[in-house]
A and B are shown apart, each in its own frame.
Chain A
Amino acid sequence: MEKKLKELLEKYSHTSRDSLIPILQDVHDELGYLSEESLSAIGKHLNVPTSKIYGLATFYNQFRFQPKGKNHIRVCHGSSCHLMGTVTLLEVIEKILKIKPGQTSRDGKFSLEVVSCVGACAQSPVISINGKPYGKLTTERLEQIIEEQSSIEPA
């Protein structure tokens, strides 16, 4: 992991604070989350206090601070999805997997993220698992999907 981080940061040599967000995004894409070590490494690289970087990262919705689960669930919480029952879907997910948004389940199989409108209001309520979208979801179908996903071991 350290090696990866080093390679990433080398791409951004001779840069100032301007590129802090792109760097964080690259690291986030690579690791799936922002670890403590990566934050301090970025701080050293840019000569910015780690506290400032942490402050910035927590401000934005994109960044998470726990590793992603093998199955990353994104739940759309736009106004249309809210009307069509996102809240119930979230309750179901929270109950089955025992995690809250932003968290990862203990076995590392699932992580949950609530996002604002994904723009597919015609298909609401919408969730996606590892990037694969599911539209017009019902609680029954959701339970089924979660069961399927937890039995498959993704590579």
Chain B
Amino acid sequence: MEKVTADSIKFCVDNIIASPPAEDIKYINDKLSILRRNNISIPIVYLGITSSSIVAGALDVREAIDDYISESDIDIELIEVGSIGLCSLEPIMDIQLPGKCRISFQQVTPDLVQQILDGVLNNFLPPDNILAQYRNPIHQPWASVPFFDELSFFGMQQRHLLANCGFVNNLSIVDAFAFGRYKTFADVLRTHTHDEVCKIVEASGLRGRGGGGYPTGKKWRATLEAAANQKYLICNADESDPGAFMDRMLIESDPHLIIEGVAISAYAIGASKAYIYTRNRYEFTVQRLEEAISQAYDAGLLGYNIMDSGYSLDISIRKGPGAYVCGEETALIQSLEGKRGMPTLKPPFPATKGLHGKPTIVNNIETLANVPLIVANGADWYSNIGSEKSKGTKLFSVSGKVNQVCFVEVPMGTPIAKIVELAGGVKQGRTLKAVQIGGPSGGAITANELNTAIDFEPLKQIGVSMGSGGITIFDDTVCIVDMVKYYMQFIQNESCGKCIPCREGSQRMCAILDNITKRPNNDDQHSTLERFKGVIQLESLAEVMRDTSLCGLGQTAPNPVLSALKKFRDEFEEHIFDRKCQANVCHNLRTYYIDVERCTGCAACAKKCPSNAIIGTPRSPYFVVEEKCIGCGICEEVCKFSAVFYK
């Protein structure tokens, strides 16, 4: 096996990457057909393994497949792939028989493995768990199984970045070569100057995907033109918005695309050292990336004097110890230098004075993943995709109260409604309350605004920002005030503490929101007034934070509060004036009652009640004095007869 891989790598480097190829065209095509698994001799089982599917039990399924293979009389190969985007249907297992289309099975459990494999290997399809099959003109399709491109989930997307995700062996550089990776990098080294690559990216109109939307080419230009003996490229893969997971999935599913993107971008700005800053806790992501990088080194695509071009590049992974603020480029640089990740003043911009005082480009991982596609297909191809002001496609991860948690790739300017549709609509047919886009720095979009295009400017017009692409869907069982409080607590924890508006502002906001969602012990007039003032104070605090914070984190931190206040003001007022949470999420606003039928009068609740709100005589039903109840719920916990309930 080892020998085959070494030979295959050599074949790929000599014939796919090199120009002109060493062998004749027919031989190359035959060999490619084998490498692309169009032409296989033994059955292959593919299993999607990502950090998401592992939680769904993919490792147990792998074990079951291994057992099956070792017990089987025929040779079967097991290949690990990434994720196709349908996270709710994981673990996903594909089977490809020689000459037949590759067929996918969803929600596979270890118990089902034997049944499915037994069936398919004997040309018999089990009735359940079939997802779809891959279209391939030279393969014979399975009868009455839909093709992937016929599923609306795939038909509605434009998958360029995700083209190989979940399809291609993500552990092998040979597969990466066979499906077109690194060819662009080799071409760039051979035929393009630094300036030419920069120009292509400038012309393409690519904008930073981290949330800022700054034109990437413009940023690069400044660094390219800066005179320095050392320049750095930093790839920000420290994805940490709660609810955003698409970048991790992209790395795990197609790590070589990321490396190629980093390599081409580093070449474009003339950097000889690149860092990929990811997070220590994403063990699986880091592992995949480390493997891919070492494979690229072995194939001679990284290191000293790459492919005799005279260009040298080192890529190393830095495992961030976990701070949300490190998404800000200056904070990230501080963290790389071994300091606390606190943003610094701009200017000087990192593009001219960054890591160790040298010109440094910090780009989001998705931005860099776009670069090989742009250079390979040309700036015109790229600028034809997307909206007028924002070009290309964007990755989104959709989670929350939806039928299908997924990550998708759609052109910029796609209406938000389409993304909700891609996610299979709201769970259990409930009504949609809001779409939170951009996590804690974004904002809520109401059901009426669903036709807004996903693009930097239109979103700004309705008072939210795109963020990095995490979308969380709320249905009517979600309390907006509670969610805003959640995001604010997140910001409060993650605020670096350098500037006062963000540090103190987030704390005050949390306190106000806490006050709104809690029932005070003694509801005197003063605290009631304080609570009433809450909304007004929230608004003015939010404006101060937005205008005076040092970095993007602080400036965008009040977004969820402001957008929710604007769009769901009645819900805030209901919490404040009526002391009610319609969704029944805010525990402390609940009022408890005792079911007369069930209460035996044991007095357990009355003894435990911290506010003496439960009165009665032993051995006859007790009752709760509504005015005194603080909604702590202790009575419900101690009641052995389930007599306590809340409204």
Contacts and interface: CB of A to CB of B under 8 A. Distances in A.
B338 A21 contact: yes
A5 interface: no
Contact of A60 (B323, B397, B474, B483): B323
B16 interface: no
A80 B243 contact: yes
B56 A122 contact: yes
Contacts of B87: 120-122
Interface stretch (B121-129, B130-138, B399-407): B399-407
Size range of the chain A interface in the assembly: 35 or more
Interface in A91-135: 115-124, 126, 133-135
User: Considering residues B52, B244, B338, which has the most beta carbons from chain A within 10 angstroms of its beta carbon?
Assistant: B338
Contacts of B623: none
Given A18-B337, A25-B280, A61 B399 contact: no
Given A20-B338, A120-B51, A62 B472 contact: no
A119 B249 CA distance: 8
B490 interface: yes
B185 interface: no
A65 interface: no
User: Considering residues B243, B322, B486, B496, which has the most beta carbons from chain A within 10 angstroms of its beta carbon?
Assistant: B243
Interface residues of B, number: 51
A80 B52 contact: no
A22 B432 CA distance: 45
Contacts of A124: 399
Interface in A23-59: 24-25, 55-56, 59
A17 interface: yes
Nearest to B489: A77
A77 B439 CA distance: 13
A138 B470 CA distance: 25
A57 B87 CA distance: 35
Contact of B52 (A56, A61, A62, A120): A120
Interface string B470-493: 101010001000010011001000
Given A22-B318, A121-B245, 12 more contacts: A18-B336, A21-B321, A56-B340, A59-B323, A77-B242, A78-B399, A79-B243, A80-B242, A117-B240, A121-B87, A123-B56, A133-B55
21 contacts: A18-B336, A18-B338, A21-B335, A22-B318, A60-B320, A61-B321, A61-B323, A62-B321, A63-B321, A79-B486, A80-B399, A80-B472, A118-B55, A119-B51, A119-B52, A119-B248, A119-B249, A120-B54, A121-B87, A121-B243, A122-B88
Query: What 6 pairs between A and B have smallest CB-CB spacing?
Result: A121-B399, A119-B245, A61-B322, A60-B321, A122-B87, A122-B405
Interface of A: 16-22, 24-25, 55-56, 59-63, 77-80, 82-83, 115-124, 126, 133-135
Interface of B: 51-52, 54-57, 87-88, 90, 240-245, 248-249, 280-282, 318-324, 335-341, 397, 399-401, 405-406, 436, 439, 470, 472, 474, 478, 483, 486-487, 490, 496
